Amino acid sequence: MVKHEQRLWHWLRDKMDGQWFHERFENRLQPNAPDLYYAHPTIPGGGWIELKVNLGWPAQKPTKIRWGKWTLGQQHWMRQHAESGGRAHLMLWVIETDELFVLNSRDALAYQGTLSQELLRVMHPPIKRRDCSADTILDKLRR
């Protein structure tokens, strides 16, 4: 059975095929490193993406959103990477509404558990997967 994060990865890989260089990491030596490294000519230095999945939104709308199962080690890695000037993003797929949110590392770290669904949508407008193009993803990663 394919896990939800693998489904997101397969969709992203197929959507971006031929659009960028990418390398998926399943690193037992550095388990806190993000899931994916990418490079693209319009994004100097490339970057990293941590893939996260939430099955749905909390039942109570004012409930604060968490980014899937994001460990303290993963958060620490992303914080150190950002402080060193590196580019990294968290890509959250909410299966219930089939929406993608792409947050840069600083926002992902700052907003974990502090934003409601409504505020997240205002501050980081989602992408509907069915309407998404490779250019849309690259635009989100450039920010």
Query: What is the domain-level CATH number for residue 104?
Result: 3.40.1350.10
Domain count, the chain: 1
Band (pLDDT 50/70/90 cuts) for residue 98 is very high
Q: What is the DSSP string of 83-142?
A: HTT--EEEEEEETTTTEEEEEEHHHHHHHTTT--HHHHHHHS--EEGGG--HHHHHHHHH
**Per-residue pLDDT at 136 exceeds 90:** yes
Q: What is the DSSP string of 35-76?
A: SEEEEETTEEEEEEEEEEEESS--SSTTSPP--SS--HHHHH
Cross-strand pairs, 80: none
Q: Which residue has the tokens 């950002």?
A: 82
Question: Cα separation of 16 and 10, whole Å?
Answer: 10
Distances (CA, A) of 98 to 11, 31, 57, 85, 142: 12, 27, 11, 32, 22
Domain that holds residue 56: 4-142
**Per-residue pLDDT at 68 exceeds 90:** no
At 6-44, the pLDDT tens digits run: 999 999 999 999 999 999 987 676 789 999 999 999 999
Nearest to 21 by CA among 4, 5, 45: 45
Q: What is the DSSP letter of 12?
A: H
Q: What is the DSSP letter of 21?
A: E
pTM: 0.92
Q: Which residue has the tokens 């319009």?
A: 42
